[in-house]
Every structure is written in structure tokens, then in C-alpha cells.
Structure 1
């Protein structure tokens, strides 16, 4: 009775003050929507009044919203025929007034309707339309409703399960901001449906029931009880949940939805021998059937009556609009057609010219970029090659200077003595013989180095050959024979004669000359130089030890690296660069250099190389002792 009085007062106010009449219709529609999940019969009363008031006032949007609510009402009544008709009428009305938000909501409702009708293809088409439209709307509440509908349509599709989960999460954030409890409960039902029959799903449904009871939302609670009844294994609990669902359906007016479950309860109680309890459900079933016939008949008659009246009004309006359109068209066609053609031609020409210009620019830039990349790569490769060749040539110069400085200085000193006639005839003869020997060894070494340099003129190339360290050490000692004689040194050699290593002969011989030269240079007069070799961890190792002052502690960590502090002073100057070249040569030959001090005094330099042929090192060593005394 209160609803009818409120409606009558609203109509009187609308007639007296038309400015407030549209707000009155909107309030009726909002109230009808609010009652959909609480009390379906009350929602129907409000939406009928909204439809009548909107029709009387000619309020198109009000009628469209009322039809949308009626479509949802009949969906909850399981009358999908009338629901679809109202949805389509609402869609036409929203399209007429260009209300994209309303169009989006109708498409979402139609998608859910077709999904419930097992027409998945149509459901996918409508939900895609709805989502596409919703993305361009400023109203994020409509976007949230559309996402919730998307989740309802695709929640059981394995390929779209992730996107449906994302849609639920996004919609929940928006609904929470607006505190839309009814919509949040619907999302909880969807998530619980996915989790069932796990315990998490049952707990979620129990939470929905509690929240729905607190807000008097009967429909979400009824759905939660229905899902619990379907998934619990115990029959007693299932019957209890179905009983709760039926009670809520009766209180909320959702009679058609409880019909199959009321039949199940009736059958169960009859089988349990409880006819009195079963009689309650038989009365409910009879009442549902009677109400369904009345609702269906009244709904269809109301729709036909309204449709006929509306059709006549639309026909008259269409005739008037057609005449106006013909008049306006005849006035505008001639003036607009030429302008349109000219504009289209200009646009097409500009587009074509711009396209050609950008295409040619793109192709030209692409060619230039490719050419520049090729040139840059060539320049980089040439720079690397030049750097490598220049570095190698510098090492060659340093190597030649190192190997020939001492012999040539010795020859100059001897010739100076001869020139000044400071020697006796016997001493001169002996020194001339020394010059001859030194010159011969120097020339032989120079020929070997020159041959090796000629092979490397185009740049460094490493071509390892089997080398015998025992023979090479003997040649090197012959080269330094005069220096050993001059300092009265004793040289002890213990090298297996049968072991060979893979190495570049001249590079390895340069290392031998440098090791022995340093040992001679830093050994005291009358000292001993010890040259030993043997196998260590499957590698050949050769060491040259002296009895000199040893290597300074501050130089030892960077012995084979360039450092100004290694230049030294006095007679210790000059060992650094040659050792750096030795390190570079040994790296190229895949070997390692070592430097250190002996416990009994003196320095030791050694290298390791992989052997070319393993021999018996432990047996049959070839040992040689070379002694030099002063003449």
C-alpha cells in the first residue's frame, strides 16, 4: 500500500513540476534495481511504475532502463523469452538516444542470457561488443559490471580462465570503491564456483551466506546454498542446504528458481516416509505452477498492449520525421555533395603524396644505415688488424735490440782495446778469437731471427712445431759463452734430451736467451746457474735459477706486466720489457711463465708448455755440466 501511495504522490509532483519528473523516474528505476537481489516482487512493482511514468512523460532513457530491469526480472523468473524481448527493446531505445553506457549494459546482459541458453557463439559476440564499448566509457561502474559479465560467460572456458580471473579482480577493485555489496557477493559466488568442491570453495560460500544475511540479499544467499547442496557428499547436509535455499526463495519471490529443488525435496521426504513434510513442498509446487501461468499471461498481455500502443506512436513520429528529412535532404544534398567530393579528393592526394614521401625516406635511410654499418665494421676490423700488427712489430724491434745489444757492445769494447794497443799479442789473438766466436753466434742468431721475421711480415701467425729444449738450451749457452767465461760462472744443466714441446722455435729461443741472459746478468762472479727441466702435472717445465740478489718483493707481483717501478737503476735496469715480451710469446704458445726467489738465495724463472711427446723422465735423464773458468 505504501508503494502505491508513494507512486501517486510522485506522479502529482511530476505533473506540477516537470523538471523533477525525470528524477522521479530515475529513482523508481534505481529502487527497482536495488530490490532485484532482495525481493523480486517489490522490484517488479517499482519497475512497472517507472515504465508507466516514463511512457507518460516521453522519457526515452527512463523507458530503456525500465525495460533493462524488466529483462533482468524475467531472467530471475526463468522466463527467458520475455527477458530477451525486453532486452532488445531496451537496446533499441539506448541506440536511439546514443547512450553507450546503456548499450554496453544490454550487450552484457544478452551475453549472459545466451550463455545460459547454451549459445556460446552469440554469448562471445555480445560480451566482446560490451567490453569494447566499456573501455571507452568514463563510467567505471559500467566497466566493472561488464567485466563481471565477461567472467560469468568465460569462467568455465579453460582457454580464457586467466582473463576471467583478471576480470573478477579488476571488477572487485571498482565495486569495493563504490561499496556495491550486491555485485561483490556475485563475484564471490563466481570465485567459489571455481574453487568447488575444495574446502576453500565451501568457506567462500559460507562467507557469502553470512554477508548476504547481514544485508538482506536473499538471491546471493540462495545461490550459495544451492551450490553447497550440489557439491557436498553427505545427503543430509545437501537436504539441509536445499531447505534453506527454498525458504530464501519463498521469502524473496524467486519461486521459479526453486522449482526443481522443491521437487527434489518432495521426492526425498516421500522416500523417507515423512508425508507431512513432503505435503509442504507439494503445496509450494502447486502455488508455483499457478503463479507461473498468471505471470506469463499477464507479462505477455502487458507487453503486447504496450507494444501496440508504442507502435502507433512510433509510426506517427516516423512519418513526421520522414517528411522533415526529405525536405532537409533536398536542401543539403546539392551543396554538400560537391564539397564532400572535393574534400575526399584532396585528402586522398595528400595521403598518397605523404605515403610516397615517407616510403622513399624510409628506404633511403635504411640503405644509408646498412651502408654505414658495413663501413663501420670494416673500419673496426682494419683498426684491430693495424693495432695487432703495430704491437707485434714493436715487439720485434724490442726483441732484436735485446738480443744484439750485448754481443755488439762486447765487439765494440774489444775493438777499442785493439785500437788503443792496450793488449799483448797473445791477448789480442785470444780476444780476436773471442770476437770471431761472438760474431759467428750473433750472425747465426740474426739469420734465425731474420728468417722468422720474414715469415711474419704480413702479421703474426702462430705455427707450432716440435722443439727439443735440451738442444735449444745448448745453442743458447753457446751464444752466451763469452759472457759466462767473462764472469767465471758455472752452469749446471739437467734436461731430458728426449722430450719435445709444441712451440714456435724462435719465440721459445727468445725466452731461453732472456732467462739465461738475466741469470748471467744478475749472478755474482764465480756463481752458479742451474737449468733444470721435467714433467709437472702432464706439462713440461723448464727453470733457470741463479745466485744473484733475487727479485725485489715490490716487483715480483707485476714481474711480467708493464710498470714504471720495474725500470730499476744501474746494472739491474732493462729486464722488464723483455720479460713482458716473453709473457706475450708464452701466452700465444698456450704456456705459462713463473718467477720467484729461491730459499737459498737468487732468482728463478720458469715456464710450462704441453709436451709434444711424453717420454720416460724418471729414467735415463740426460745431465750435462758446463764449467767456465777464467783464462
Structure 2
């Protein structure tokens, strides 16, 4: 039985374990609000805002979001990295509750980076577990398992083992139905129970007892299991744990699916009512859909219309969110780039203002010096000496400011060059696929075409559309690699498979692959695929259809990949500058991106002329 929602809730509890689990939630919130009014220090003020946001995620998502945004703004303004990490964690939780897993992963990963910089091991463990849950919700199982294993390894070393208990519960839920892991799941639950005994009132006990009820159900004690689940839901509601109560009620429908004759409709209606009042409807799409189908089949028109409206509204919001997420990535990155440029411009203006203030201060010192000359000749030497030292200090500061301004201007030129490259590659790589789509669409106007021809045209349109999407993803990957905060993590890449995939985008008949099977590079798969496809395309364009194109790979200290082909009138000087940017040359933009990607991966790319042949090659470490 898969419990995605249980995963969603478990990732929130780690922030509530530090000494507050034994109090009722309302009392905790009341005490935190009182402490908030007593804190003049912004660091402690931000910490309390983050604690309030963490408390409210169990009962009111809007309040969780409000406190998270307020804490983020204050922490950003004061440069408080710990407060900013906590605020980003709260925002990650909010978007997870709103079923926006991509945004939740983004905020969670940023929070993890800050906690790693602070070397905060308990919160690092919590964020690793959160990211495991979010990747599992988004269908990325391998990544999810990797984060979970990292959290378990780190949790063993923590003195605050309440977080380790939560990691063990997630492990048990993840692999509950895996028959090969029954012993490890049983051990994880037993170890978690031992830890929970140290923390009376911990909310983890709800999920431990729910798992025990599941075991009763599997052993044939269905009535006992249903009674226990209802008791847990009632208790959670009394404590203000809205989402926990919804999770408990979902177990009854799971029992019905596994063959026990339980009436799950009242439990679903109760869960829907709770979620509707508290703002958690984004988590309840399966529940609403099930209620709608049930009343549609039972001809209850009133409730069918009621749940139908709720289902339509929820699906509409999700479609809007999905469209907004997938269509505005490029615009988001360009606007972020523009914001960075404006920030840099503001810093330059501040430096100019500081320079003017220093000049005004210098004039004031000069006036004081003249008055000192008139008052006392004996003070002239002393005053002159001070003026001389002040001028030397000002010259040094002015020189440093000029150097800083020159450096900022260089950065502005780099950003401008980045935008030029982006525009050039958009113009080159999107022109051909879009022209193909337009051409295929125009052929639909021919009404005399038979069905076979129509199908062929449709297939061509599908191929062109897929090419456009692949190019778009490559451009996004390059943009991300150029922005600040990009982290390169090498992974095993099957070289033969990557070249076979790259050959789908060029003339395959002229290409011969001489690559041993099982040769893995340590690199980024998307970057390598872009490099391979671009080098093959460059080889086809430069060879002008003459002779074969041979791809050879061999492993020495590094893995060396060479693409050799025949060229006309190509000099060693041209080869030496092949990977440099030349304005107006579309191919040079692609090759510059290839060199950028290779630099990111710590490799080397080159071009060499040997007689009438040109050899394009690169070197990377072997993953073995």
C-alpha cells in the first residue's frame, strides 16, 4: 500500500522535535507569539517566526506561508543564514502541501545548502529526509532512495536521535511492502520505538501505532484495526493536528482495498470536510475523485454535484500551476539575470555616492587646515602632516574603488556576452525545428491527402516537436550552469549509449563508432549528450559530405574521445581558435558552450589538423 501523503506529513515533524513535543500545539503557538513580542533582536525574532511557521503547517497552510515569507525577508536583509535556511525549509513544506513538488524541491535544496555551510548536522539530516520524500512524490525513485540512505547514515551519528527516529519511520513506510526488506523494516520500527520512549508526546507515535494497526489488518483483525485508526484520528484532531487526522482516516480506505468490508465513504467525507476547512485540498485529489465516482454511481445528484465542483476546481488549479511551472522557466531565469544586473548597477551607484561624500569630507578638512594656519603657526606642521596622511589614505581608497568598479564593469560585459550567446543559440537551434513544424502544419491544408500521407505528416510533426523540446532542455541546462549556485555532481555516463543517442540528430550513415562497450565517464549526462551531438553536427557541416566520420574512444589515465573526419582548406590556426566565440558565427556559439560544459566537468576539449583530416576530441576521468 503506497502512502504518499504519509510521506508528506512525516517530512514536517523534524522541526517540532527540539524540546516542544510534550506540549499541545495551541499552547506552543500561544507561547511563541508571546515570545515574539518580547524579542528586540532580529536574529531571535526570525527564529521564532520560523518556529511559528513550522507549527502552523499542521493546521493552517496560509499561516505557515506568511511566517515563512516574513522570516525570509528579515533574514535576507540582515544576512542571517540560519534564519534564511529555516524560512526556506518552511516554504518548501508549504509548497509540498500545495502539491507543487518542483518548487518544494527547489526551496528544500537551497535550505540544505545553507545548513551545510553552517555545518548544522541535525537540520542537514532533516533536509536530506525531506528531499527524499519530495523526490519520491515527484516519481524520482533513485534520487529519493539516495537522499534517504544519506539521511540514515547521518542520523546514526546525531546526539539528538529524535530526528533519527523519524528517518527510520520513513524507511519503514518506504519499504513496507518489499518482502526482501522485512527484517530491516522490522528493525527500523523497533529502533524507532526505543527512541520515541525518550520523548513523551512525540507525534511520531501516531504513525508507529498506525503501522501496528496495519499489521493487525494483515493478521485478520480488521475491526480492531479500524477502531484504532478512528481513535488516532480523533486524538489528532483534539491536538490540532489536522493533516495527521486526514492521514489516519486514509487507512480505512486502504483496508477496504485490501479486502476488508469497511465502509470508507464516511471516513473520506470526514477527511474532505477537515481538509476543506484547513486549506489542505491540494493533497486530497484521490479522495475527492473517489467520492465523486461513488455518488455518481449511486445516483445521488446533490452530492455528485457538490463533489464534482470541488473536483473541477482542484483540477483547474493544478493545471494552471503545471502550465505556469513548465512554460515560464526561461522567462524566470532571464528575469533573475536582469535582477542581478540591476543589483550590480545599484552597487556602482552607491560607490559613486560614497566617493562624493569622501570628496566633501576632504574639502571640510582643507577648510579646517586653513583656519589652523591663521590661528597658530606652530600648529601648521602638525595640521599639514595630518592632511598629507589623509590624502594618501583617500588616494588608496579611490584606487581600490576604481579597481572594484573596473571589476564590476568586467562582470557586466560577461553578462552581456552571456545574453548574446543565448540569443544566438536560440536563433540557430530553434530555427530549423520550428520551420519543420510550420512546414508540416501548412501541408495539412491539402484536403486531398490520403490517410497514410496524413499519418506521415503527423509523425514528422511529432519528431520536430521532440527535437524542439530536447534543444530547449539543453539550453536550460546551459543557463543553469552559468548562474550562481550551480553545483556540479559527476555521475557514471555510458559513452557508447550517449553517442548512439546523439546520432539520432545527424547523418547516421556516415558515422562509425569505435567505442568499447561498458566504458563509463565521470560527468554530467545532459552536458555530455549536448557535447557529443554538437561535435557530430560540427563534423557533418565541416566535412561537407566527404568521407566517413569516425568516433574512437580509448582509456589511459583519462578517457580520450576523438572524432576524425576529412576537411578542405582547414588550417592549424583555424583549429586553434575553433572553440572561441566569434560574433555572427552560429556554430562558434555551440562550440563555446561545449567548452564551458567541459570546463564545468574538469575536462579538456581540443581541435587538431592532421593533413587533410580534422580531429575533434575531449578527455574526462573514467568513472571506474
Would the TM-score normalized by the shorter structure come out above 0.5? no
TM-score (norm 1): 0.43
TM-score, with normalisation over the residues of structure 2? 0.44
**Which structure has the greater CA radius of gyration?**
1
